[in-house]
């Protein structure tokens, strides 16, 4: 027992690990809540697209020697607004417009970055995460920003869910669908930006989508899903950090792999929607379906 307690307590003796655990947990909570809306809406692609959209802002901020986080947030939001505006044309599907604008943003980032020699090493933390190098200021920024995001998601929960489930009905009920689209894009963009330090640009989609997808397998109730997704995201982040500390491996990658492991377990073992539950239903329905035929014959 002492061995287990010692293992759990050891990382907390280091200030850099304390910061890492706090940011990882907060990123997991916020990503789980916002990711639930993304999964309900069937817009998993937007997480990957937004992570590309913040890239030009990060590149410009790097060239100008300003905050990478602020730069990424600004261009991510501008690109998200552009995608939301052009998506109002019913001839175009939302994912197609998102693909156009966010790919263009990533291309712009590459062009801007090519003007700054020696950039690759400096942006490694942006691409792959650097959660063990987080400062007290970063912790505060993530905490404050995360609290604002959660408050906005709670305030607009019913409206966002209504638009996610049936846009036309929501519009008929008088809901401002376009404004809610902008809000969701903004929430996703800021969530991606504050999660970059935890897992990096390359892996941020997993933190946004995987916990919410696990929750989707475990429950049919949106309220319960909203609780399960952040719990799974936080658990994945904390376990990934412990593994990173123990085996001296990349924290961002391990966080994502733990979340993926939870998803695989849910896919097999979810009580109603898992593979094993489906097999049990087929076995129980099979004999029952055959009995009437036998009696009739």
Yes or no: say if 238 and 224 are a contact pair by the CB < 8 Å rule. Answer: no
Record the tokens describing residue 292, joined without a space. Answer: 């009437």
Given this model, what pLDDT does residue 294 score? 47
Q: Quick check: is 172 in a domain?
A: yes
The residue assigned the tokens 């990096």 is 200
Record the tokens describing residue 113, joined without a space. Answer: 């970055």
Q: Say how far apart CA 189 and CA 49 lie, in whole Å.
A: 10
Q: Is the pTM of this model over 0.75?
A: yes
Q: Quick check: is 31 in a domain?
A: yes
Q: Which of 187, 178, 208, 209 is nearest to 76 (CA)?
A: 187
Given this model, what pLDDT does residue 187 score? 92
Record the tokens describing residue 5, joined without a space. Answer: 């307690």
Given this model, what pLDDT does residue 219 score? 95
Is residue 160 left, alpha or beta, with left meaning phi > 0 and alpha meaning psi from -120 to 50?
alpha
**What is the phi/psi pair of residue 201, to 5°?**
-60, -35
Q: Quick check: is 289 in a domain?
A: no
Q: Quick check: is 273 in a domain?
A: yes
Given this model, what pLDDT does residue 176 score? 94
Residues 6+ apart with CB under 8 A from 26: 142, 143, 146, 194
Q: Say how far apart CA 265 and CA 274 lie, in whole Å.
A: 9
Structural domain of 165: 2-283
Q: Which of 106, 157, 17, 71 is nearest to 98 (CA)?
A: 106
Q: Say how far apart CA 76 and CA 72 lie, in whole Å.
A: 6
Residue 71, number of CB atoms within 10 A of its CB: 22
Residues 6+ apart with CB under 8 A from 119: 59, 62, 113
Q: Say how far apart CA 184 and CA 178 lie, in whole Å.
A: 10
Whole-angstrom CA distances from 63 to 95, 110, 222 are 31, 12, 43
Q: Quick check: is 205 in a domain?
A: yes
Could you say which residues of the chain have pLDDT below 70? 1-2, 90-92, 94-95, 116-128, 202, 286-297
Q: Say how far apart CA 23 and CA 2 lie, in whole Å.
A: 27
Whole-angstrom CA distances from 280 to 141, 273, 293 are 48, 11, 22
Q: What is the pLDDT of residues 179-228, one digit of tens each?
A: 998 899 889 989 988 888 778 776 788 889 999 999 999 999 999 999 99
Q: Say how far apart CA 288 and CA 101 lie, in whole Å.
A: 53
Record the tokens describing residue 225, joined without a space. Answer: 């899903």
Number of domains observed in the structure of the chain: 1
Q: Quick check: is 89 in a domain?
A: yes
DSSP codes of every residue in 284-297: HHHHHHHHHHHHH-
Given this model, what pLDDT does residue 133 score? 82
Q: Quick check: is 294 in a domain?
A: no
- CATH number of the domain at 167, please: 1.10.3470.10
Q: What is the pLDDT of residues 258-268, one digit of tens each?
A: 999 999 999 99
Record the tokens describing residue 219, joined without a space. Answer: 């429950």
**133: which DSSP letter?**
G
Given this model, what pLDDT does residue 238 score? 94
Q: Say how far apart CA 96 and CA 93 lie, in whole Å.
A: 5
DSSP codes of every residue in 228-278: HHHHHHHHHHHHHHHHHHHHT--HHHHHHHHHHHHHHHHHHH-TTTSHHHH
Q: Quick check: is 139 in a domain?
A: yes
């Amino acid at each position: 027992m002492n061995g287990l307690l010692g293992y759990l307590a050891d990382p907390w003796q280091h200030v850099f690990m304390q910061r890492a655990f706090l940011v990882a947990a907060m990123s997991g909570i916020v990503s789980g809540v916002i990711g639930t809306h993304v999964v309900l809406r069937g817009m998993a692609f937007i997480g990957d697209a937004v992570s590309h959209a913040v890239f030009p802002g990060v590149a410009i901020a790097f060239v100008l020697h300003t905050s990478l986080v602020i730069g990424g947030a600004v261009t991510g939001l501008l690109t998200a607004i552009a995608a939301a505006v052009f998506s109002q044309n019913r001839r175009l599907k939302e994912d197609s417009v998102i693909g156009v604008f966010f790919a263009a943003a990533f291309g712009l980032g590459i062009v801007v970055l090519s003007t700054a020699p020696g950039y690759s090493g400096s942006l490694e933390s942006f691409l792959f995460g650097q959660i063990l190098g987080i400062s007290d200021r970063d912790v505060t920024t993530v905490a404050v920003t995360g609290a604002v995001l959660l408050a906005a998601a709670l305030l607009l929960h019913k409206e966002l869910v209504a638009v996610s489930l049936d846009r036309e009905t929501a519009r008929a009920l008088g809901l401002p669908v376009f404004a809610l689209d902008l809000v969701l894009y903004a929430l996703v963009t800021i969530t991606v930006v504050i999660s970059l330090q935890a897992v990096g640009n390359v892996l941020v989609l997993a933190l946004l989508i995987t916990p919410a997808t696990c929750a989707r397998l475990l429950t049919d109730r949106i309220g319960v899903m909203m609780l399960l997704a952040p719990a799974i995201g936080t658990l994945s982040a904390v376990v990934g950090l412990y593994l990173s500390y123990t085996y001296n491996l990349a924290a961002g990658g391990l966080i994502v792999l733990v979340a993926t492991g939870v998803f695989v377990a849910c896919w097999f073992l979810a009580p109603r929607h898992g593979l094993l539950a489906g097999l049990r239903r087929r076995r129980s329905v099979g004999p029952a379906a055959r009995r009437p035929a036998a009696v009739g014959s």
